[in-house]
Amino acid sequence: MLNKNVKLNGKTVLVTGAAGFIGSNLVLALFKGFENIHVVGVDNMNDYYDVSIKEYRLQEIENAQKSGEWTFVKGNIADKELIDGLFAKYQPALVVNLAAQAGVRYSITNPSAYIESNLVGFYNILEACRNYPVEHLVYASSSSVYGSNKKIPYSTDDKVDNPVSLYAATKKSNELMAHAYSKLYNIPSTGLRFFTVYGPAGRPDMAYFGFTNKLIKGQTIEIFNYGNCKRDFTFVDDIVEGVKRVMECAPEKENGEDGLPLPPYRVYNIGNSSPENLLDFVDILQKELVRAGVLPQDYDFEAHKKLVPMQAGDVPITYADTSPLERDFGFKPATPLQVGLRKFAEWYKEFYKI
């Protein structure tokens, strides 16, 4: 187990992508778990998906925030002047970069959005961490960096040189850029490869949410690779718990034999280590949607399912080796899919007033 070397009580933390799925849940957890914390949240509130969900998440933060201080800034991390200004004004001790253009399929048709947010934006964050030194930079990577890896489960020791989407390439680039800045400027940084995050108030472009939207309209859902895909679905609360624990343990600064800094840099997988077949996943989802009253008891699921070939940019399986996370933090995501999807179904019913 690593020793905690970063205290969060009384600190200023910058969270980018704060209106996003993981970002908003992290902010809630920080206010709940620490005292006198000042969270500065940044989000551009773009319309890649329904903005009302982002507004709902921000309202949840407003409602829950009783201790500490919350500052929200609407802006784009690709705006260098904005980012430099925020660092100069608030001098954050920690930065958690969760802002990114997400989605594998969208990157095939809209590549420029990924270059702007995931490369230019992340560069701006790194430059600001260089000019206004921070105790720890934690940033989101993705399981997509493993590309078409044949070896499973995916280990952070594996080579990740074969991305199958531009999204994956930008996330691998983030890890390389962070490593370079850690080496050159002694910035403690930790990258987190998230595996298929799901839960209440999630992203509508994710399978479970998109399937629900279609089923409720009586449309047909398409299950890729003829149902032979497996995903390491990870409940959002498990992701956030992992992020929190990582934040408190910055890689130590030390010099090598040449007297130059060794890069204070780490990368971890955060996944459930329990891949689920998509057909089984859909079966659990439909049962929970019926149980929650989102869909009627007699809904004919078979009439609304269609098995289709694999889509460009997708991979047949994701499967996280989380043993380094367990070793260093004594933590392993473990929320069962049924529990997580039940919480999603209940939230969906309430949010859309079904």
Q: Which residues are catalytic?
A: 167
Which residues on neighbouring strands pair with residue 353, listed in sequence order? none
Where would I find the H helices in 41-132?
51-64, 80-90, 106-109, 111-114, 122-131
User: Which three-class secondary structure string do you get for 140-206?
Assistant: EEEHHHHCCCCCCCECCCCCCCCCCCHHHHHHHHHHHHHHHHHHHHCCCEEEEEECCEECCCCCCCC
- Which contiguous run of DSSP H or E holds residue 12? strand 12-16
* Residues in the chain, total: 354
Phi and psi angles of residue 154, each rounded to the nearest 5 degrees, phi first: -70, 125
**Location of structure tokens 């990924």:** 114
Cβ(5)–Cβ(31) under 8 Å?
A: no
Residue type, 31: F
What six digits make up the tokens of 58? 């921000």
Q: How far apart are CA 161 and CA 182, in angstroms?
A: 21
Q: ∠ CA(119), CA(137), CA(155), 5° rounding? A: 80
Q: How far apart are CA 152 and CA 271, in angstroms?
A: 13
Q: How far apart are CA 43 and CA 38, in angstroms?
A: 16
What six digits make up the tokens of 287? 């049962």
| C-alpha atoms less than 13 angstroms from C-alpha of 60 in its C-beta half-sphere | 22
What six digits make up the tokens of 200? 């209440």
Q: How far is CA 221 from CA 8, 73, 305, in A?
A: 44, 37, 5
